[in-house]
Structure 1
Amino acid sequence: MKLATKYIHAGTEPDPSTGAIMTPIYQTSTYVQEAPGVNKGYEYARSQNPTRKALEEAYAQIENGKFGLAFSSGVAATDAVIKLLEPGDEVIAANDMYGGTYRLFTKIFEKFGISFRYVDTTNTDNIATVISAKTKLVWIETPTNPLMNITDIKAVAAITKQAGALLCVDNTFASPYLQNPLDLGADIVMHSATKYLGGHSDVIQGCLVMNDATLREKLYFIQKSCGAVPGPMDCFLVLRGIKTLHIRMQRHCENGEKMANFLRNHPKVEKVYWCGFTDHPGYAVASQQMRGFGGMMSFTLKDDSVENARRVLSSTHVFALAESLGGVESLINHPASMTHASIPREERIKNGLSDSLIRLSVGIEDIDDLIADINAAIG
């Protein structure tokens, strides 16, 4: 089935009682049972909900997986993966990743005896060198947030399989439209569905997709027991968002390419981080494992003072200064004080995330308006 057809029909069947073409919002907390323990597959909404079930099936289908699980946020989905581990286990993670993930690892799970080792995963030898019997999970983002670094998923999967460790890929920046990590050997795919999957900045949600039935049962037990599940209305919104993922991502990619090239040719811009440039260090790998390069990018100015960056951030009119990404509207962001503020400054600087870096989520508006807006803000 082609992508466009898959996204429109993923997880949805006509409602058996009414024939409704859209999955109903089953706004209920519990279900009437015919007798104790005799039910129609639903007992309590934390464990099961028909709207959520449809979405979880959609998640699996669009990521070419067998099983999907929906969570109340991307961080909740990440939290569930780490709860697979035990004290003494080790995680190898990318040194350039979302600040909320870093905060969860360092501020929550380290105190429970799980250790985290951060390496530059763009060079897979770094993973092969440090992986050990203690390593139970390798966590990567590709492209990374916000520096757009690329990691070879297939190469990392070969390393983790030989070591007997799980590989989880945060696929939020690419979306399933551009990249499918399970096809490349990953064990788990994580999305902040708040972003491209929802696509309209009106829902918070996360998901996990996998092929292994035993792994699914372990993660479902965590989902049910810890209770970080989304409500049916949120599930409905993401189901609706997935139906237009392909056409939105096509425009995100088109606009992203034009914006990246505009910025690169701007006399006041120092550097643009976008993985679609042929001289990007990860371009060859990205071209192999992605179908396009997306609408996410970051840049620095030749006058790289924080004051100048803040002036630009506060001067746009079409781009909104806000957290998050992946919606139809364009957003501008200051990672050092917003999405990555939880990472210590010395760590950010060491990994290349400067105080003056500006991140763009290029939306699907008319590109001429977006370029004019950024150009006027840069001055």
Structure 2
Amino acid sequence: MTDRPGFSTRAIHAGSTPDPTTGAVIPPIVASSTFAQDGVGGLRNGYEYSRSANPTRTALEECLTALEGGSRGFAFASGLAAEDTLIRSIAKPGAHLVLPHDAYGGSFRLFSRAYAPWGLLTDPVDLTDLAAVEAAIRPGETVAVWVETPTNPLMSVADISAIAEIAHALGALVIVDNTFASPYLQQPLALGADVVMHSTTKYCGGHSDVVGGALVTADETLAEKVQFHQNALGAVAGPFDAWLVLRGLKTLAVRMERHSDNAEKVAAYLTEHPGVSEVYYPGLESHAQHDVAKRQMRRFGGMVSFRVRAGEQAAVDACGRTTVFTLAESLGGVESLIEHPGRMTHASVAGTALEVPSDLIRLSVGLEDAEDLIADLDQALC
């Protein structure tokens, strides 16, 4: 075994040592809410109550930490629960945060409607414009730059290393939502980020059968703050949910390779379709940040967005005509999904600076045969 095993080896073995009692090679689902103590305060391996720690959740957190190359990992009930815990760990009323100008609608809703009354100040910025990022940071006030790359749904790619250099010089943390790329395709901590966030519902789980979130920190001091707030706020991953995500991580590498294979073929097909006016996929040389993506990503992932030349209603109609692509929100599962962001996942940002084009369609390209996916889109875009 090398000093640092490869990604797939870590994904399969980190946090998954055979059970010492039975020899089970897969960690068991420990459904207990409480744990017997060997005398008052005599905790067995640190477990007392499952909100504070649970062996199944620990296995997942150890695996996520190994995959992201971090100091410590934390598993939550959802991606938004992870975001909420992190913000409360680093910010207080009056603090300032720099956001992507095309952030995920759920994150924007959290910041603009839940935290604005609390006193958190935010500025949406085009993170591909490094001068704008630097200008938006308020030294002494800005606690973090929130980076989403690739973004949802416009697939913008931010230069993590460059943003980290700027933010750290001005006293701000860098938080990267790595959901679209997954730990397999992108390693934000190695590029200078301080925290990685995931909706583990997506590629980490990979089978559309669990809702979860995660944080991995680079710094132990920050990890201690997150641990306190996770326990105090309580939005932790349950043992069965943690087990499902841990199971998904074991096949993450092979799944992301197939997602990327299929998405590249779908994106290439869409660029040639007369009914499509624009395709957003970092793997295309025409993508504005293709060189950045090529430098910081292993491959380009399974998410593709595109605009329909005939307008909004034609885009809505196309979403309703697919038979292999399922019309549904979310992403990252083995099955392919199609959605209209303006009326579905990003309806909450309508009328704001983050509003998405009304003729936009977002695809989560799954693991089916690429030829079937292309044929399905071909008949839907007729």
Tell me which interval the TM-score lies in, with the shorter structure as reference length: over 0.9
Question: Counterparts of 2:249 and 2:339 in 1: how far apart (Å)?
Answer: 25
Confirm whether residue 202 of structure 1 aligns to residue 209 of structure 2.
Answer: yes
For structure 1, which runs of at least 5 residues remain unmatched after alignment? Answer: none
Confirm whether residue 106 of structure 1 aligns to residue 112 of structure 2.
Answer: yes
Stretches (4+) displaced over 4 A: none
For structure 2, which runs of at least 5 residues remain unmatched after alignment? Answer: none
What is the CA RMSD across the aligned residues, in angstroms? 0.9
TM-score of the two chains, using structure 1 as the length reference: 0.98
Q: Please name the residue that 2:310 is paired with.
A: 303
Could you tell me which of 322, 331, 338 is aligned with 1:332? 338
Alignment of 1:21-100 (within 5 A): 21-40=25-44, 41-84=46-89, 85-100=91-106
> 3-state DSSP class of the match of 1:345?
coil
Identical amino acids, percent of aligned pairs: 52
TM-score of the two chains, using structure 2 as the length reference: 0.97
Q: Please name the residue that 1:354 is paired with.
A: 357
* Alpha-carbon contact 2:155-2:281 (below 8 Å) kept: yes
> 3-state DSSP class of the match of 1:347?
coil
Q: Please name the residue that 1:158 is paired with.
A: 165
Alignment of 1:241-320 (within 5 A): 241-304=248-311, 306-320=312-326
* Alpha-carbon contact 1:348-1:354 (below 8 Å) kept: no
Confirm whether residue 217 of structure 1 aligns to residue 224 of structure 2.
Answer: yes
Residues 303-327 of structure 1, C-alpha deviations (whole Å, 9 max, x = no match): 11x2211110100001000010000
Question: Counterparts of 2:200 and 2:302 in 1: how far apart (Å)?
Answer: 16
Residues 105-145 of structure 1, C-alpha deviations (whole Å, 9 max, x = no match): 01101111110011101111111112112111110101000
Question: Counterparts of 1:130 and 1:211 in 2: how far apart (Å)?
Answer: 24
Question: Counterparts of 2:112 and 2:329 in 1: how far apart (Å)?
Answer: 21
Question: Counterparts of 2:43 and 2:136 in 1: how far apart (Å)?
Answer: 50
Question: Counterparts of 1:254 and 1:372 in 2: how far apart (Å)?
Answer: 16
Amino acid at match of 1:81: L
* Alpha-carbon contact 2:103-2:354 (below 8 Å) kept: no
Question: Counterparts of 1:37 and 1:362 in 2: how far apart (Å)?
Answer: 50
> 3-state DSSP class of the match of 2:32?
coil
Question: Counterparts of 1:201 and 1:298 in 2: how far apart (Å)?
Answer: 20
Residues 320-376 of structure 1, C-alpha deviations (whole Å, 9 max, x = no match): 000100000000011111111111334244xxx211200000000001111111111
Q: Please name the residue that 2:15 is paired with.
A: 11
Question: Counterparts of 2:71 and 2:144 in 1: how far apart (Å)?
Answer: 20
> 3-state DSSP class of the match of 1:111?
coil
* Alpha-carbon contact 2:16-2:26 (below 8 Å) kept: yes
Confirm whether residue 343 of structure 1 aligns to residue 349 of structure 2.
Answer: yes
Confirm whether residue 378 of structure 1 aligns to residue 348 of structure 2.
Answer: no
Q: Please name the residue that 1:234 is paired with.
A: 241
Question: Counterparts of 2:47 and 2:310 in 1: how far apart (Å)?
Answer: 59
Q: CA deviation at 1:271?
A: 0.7
